[in-house]
Amino acid sequence: MPAVVNCGGDKDFCAASSFHSDFMDSCLVLSLGSHIDVYCPPRKRSRITAPFIFRDESKEPENQSSIDVLPDECLFEIFRRLPGSQERSACACVSKRWLMLQSSIRRSETFTNSRPSNPSLKNVSSPVSKDEQIVSSVQDEEQECEADGYLTRCLEGKKATDIRLASIAVGTSSRGGLGKLLIRGTNYTRGVSNHGLSAIARGCPSLRVLSLWNVSSISDEGLSEIANGCHMLEKLDLCQCPLISDQGLLAIAQNCPSLTELTIESCLKIGNKSLQAIARNCLNLKSISIKDCPLVGDQGVANLASSASSVLRKIKLEAVNITDVSLAVIGHYGKAVMDLVLTGLQNVSERGFWVLGNASGLQNLKSFTIANCQGLTDLGLEAIGKGCPNLRQLHIRRCSLFSDEGLNAFTKSGASLESLQLEECNRITQTGVLRALSNCGKNLKALALIKCLGFRDTFVGSTPLSPCESLRSLTIRNCPGFGSAGIAMVGTVCPRLQHVDFGGLYGATDAGLLALLESCKAGLLKVNLTGCFNISDAVVSAMARLHGETLQLLNLDGCRKVTDESLSAIADNCLLLTDLDMSRCTVTDNGIAALARAKQLNLQVLSLSGCSHVSDIGVALLQNMGQSLVGLNLQQCNLITSSVVELLEEQLWRCDVLF
């Protein structure tokens, strides 16, 4: 370790070991991990009147170096006249007192000096490397780097302390300047407070991104310091910050005009007043996200949507007390909005969604998510389809008041729709889904139906259905009423499927799946049949025969009727298969032997979890797959012993084995 300032002798420098015996003391190492900013051994004398200080009640030592006798005011004046960031960082390494003094100096309070740095100061303990010293060698270039804000720091849990923030504020100035700071949680004994955030505000004017999650000790004072010192702030994320109110956010609005992204979650003291100020002053706001803020209402949201109408791209509102008024304003002024998320809006009625669509302002909307909004009905969904002609992605979850009629009307108007996901929408039936597919035959590429309980394995309709040639991905998961008849019909309507996920479809049988496999002309790439315990070897064999040349992933977890016959068909036909899950299937060592003998098979991941008939004999054969296998799951296989697994691990040294 480089030398540091001598504490009690005539010489200028002494060995670093004379300061403290325990180098790894958590109080001394200020920024650990891959971003070590400053190391500061302890000093006993406390600062008296400087603007930022941590007090120490210990008595002063009898013998002190001459410079340590100086009061904090004198040291403050000395430090702000240091020629460069390397020298300031080096002095911060001497003691915690010097670190705190350094972090209390604003960038505007330092004296710029174009003369070369003092060579003697470069011998002081410094956290920078040789490459970083080159970056800081010229003062003008150094100041330019400091304003760029290249560095990112993330403090989580016990690492989130004021000492670390102070060291970051001092240590990053010579390495490109701090541009992004994330604080996740806090240290309950020496946690982050307003003092630490003030150090960042003084030393890091290039800060562009600030994210505070679950930080209960930072209040308006700390956020105001950031606003006063970091005028380049572009993104602010506040989550579970109970002490921050409108006052702190008002300071951001008044001092940070470059703000483009604002996220507020579970901040109970933030309301309409600060959001109105943001709307007046931050005219470049592109993204706004508000969640679980009970004081936020129509005044704040409407002002944001109308004031930033020309640049606002994304709006996310969840569990806030807005009404139909806010949706009307968004629908009228949201000409630039491309991503809209509305979740848990209990005070929005059918009229709000109807006005949202009929206002005709969401012409550029590309993605729309509606969750747990009981105001969404057939009338509102039809209006959205007509008012959002360029909508490509629609996700509706837990909205139980719209039915097949609204879905049919929406898909007739939504000519640009590419992805449709319906989750826990219990009034949607198979008839409505098949008609929607027929309506979106040109552009729809992905359809997902999850936990929809309104399906029955029948199809009633006299109108012939047009094929949906564009659909490539179909997910029907945990919909117990969707059975073989519906699967067969989907295969007829969607002949170009490549990704199929039927996880949890207990009603799926061989007849429906065989019909779908024969209808798919493009060749299946990924198939998930998890929990389809009624299918047998006939389906897997047909799949291997018809789609073996394209199949890459196959999941048969829980298919109890699948046996060694399926493994033999897979080994003979599936040349491109890389991921195979046979968990809880009725396979034995003979099936494993068939896989091991297949020379053309390049399987990378194999899961045999819960296969109670597989023994040590079959597992030993897997060493033949050592050239390709990188993941193997043998959990809950009772006939397999640990000794055989250990031997297999030695043979398959590149493979991660779970046992």
Report if residue 76 sits inside a domain.
yes
Torsion of CA 97, 98, 103, 105, to 10 degrees: 120
User: Mean per-residue pLDDT for 133-157?
Assistant: 54
**Residue 599 has what pLDDT?**
82
Task: Tokens 């597919």: give the residue.
Answer: 437
**Residue 8 has what pLDDT?**
40
**Residue 606 has what pLDDT?**
96
Report if residue 151 sits inside a domain.
no
Q: Say if residues 119 and 9 touch (Cβ distance below 8 Å).
A: no
* pLDDT above 70 for 20: no
Report if residue 614 sits inside a domain.
yes
Both tokens of 636, joined, read 């809950």
User: 360 vs 16, which has greater pLDDT?
Assistant: 360
- Kindly report the number of other CB atoms within 10 A of residue 331's CB atom: 27
Report if residue 149 sits inside a domain.
no
Both tokens of 237, joined, read 């994320």
User: Mean per-residue pLDDT for 85-94?
Assistant: 64
Q: Is 564 helix (H, G, I), strand (E, B) or coil?
A: helix
**Residue 167 has what pLDDT?**
81
Q: Say if residues 80 and 113 touch (Cβ distance below 8 Å).
A: no
**Residue 110 has what pLDDT?**
64
State the DSSP H helix or E strand holding residue 329, giving kind and residue range, or none if neither.
helix 324-333
Domain boundary among 125, 142, 159: 142
pLDDT in tens, 305-353: 998 778 999 999 999 999 999 999 999 999 999 999 999 999 999 999 9
Q: How confident is the model at residue 420 (pLDDT cuts 50, 70, 90)?
A: very high
**Residue 103 has what pLDDT?**
65
- pTM, two decimals, is 0.80
Torsion of CA 589, 591, 594, 596, to 10 degrees: -60
**Residue 10 has what pLDDT?**
41
Residue 26: which residues within 8 A CB-CB, separation 6 or more? none
pLDDT in tens, 372-405: 999 999 999 999 999 999 999 999 999 989 999 9
Task: Tokens 């080994």: give the residue.
Answer: 571
pLDDT in tens, 551-593: 999 999 999 999 999 999 999 999 999 999 999 999 999 999 9
User: Mean per-residue pLDDT for 154-182?
Assistant: 83
Residue 133, domain extent = 4-142
| Closest by Cα among 528, 530, 557 to 543 | 528
Give the least confident one: 34-43, 74-83, 229-238.
34-43
pLDDT in tens, 536-559: 999 999 999 999 999 999 999 999
Report if residue 511 sits inside a domain.
no
| Closest by Cα among 132, 123, 66, 64 to 93 | 123
Spatial distance between the Cα atoms of 570 and 556, rounded to a whole number of angstroms? 12
Report if residue 115 sits inside a domain.
yes
* pLDDT above 90 for 145: no
Domain boundary among 120, 142, 164: 142
Percent of the chain past pLDDT 90, that is, above it, reads: 60
Report if residue 540 sits inside a domain.
yes
Q: Say if residues 353 and 381 touch (Cβ distance below 8 Å).
A: yes
- DSSP secondary structure letter of residue 18: G
The domain spanning residue 552 has which CATH number? Answer: 3.80.10.10
**Residue 41 has what pLDDT?**
45
Report if residue 407 sits inside a domain.
no
| Closest by Cα among 267, 367, 359 to 313 | 367
**Residue 393 has what pLDDT?**
97
Torsion of CA 426, 428, 430, 434, to 10 degrees: -150
What is the number of domains present in the chain? 2
Q: How confident is the model at residue 91 (pLDDT cuts 50, 70, 90)?
A: low
Q: How confident is the model at residue 120 (pLDDT cuts 50, 70, 90)?
A: very low
Domain boundary among 84, 116, 142: 142
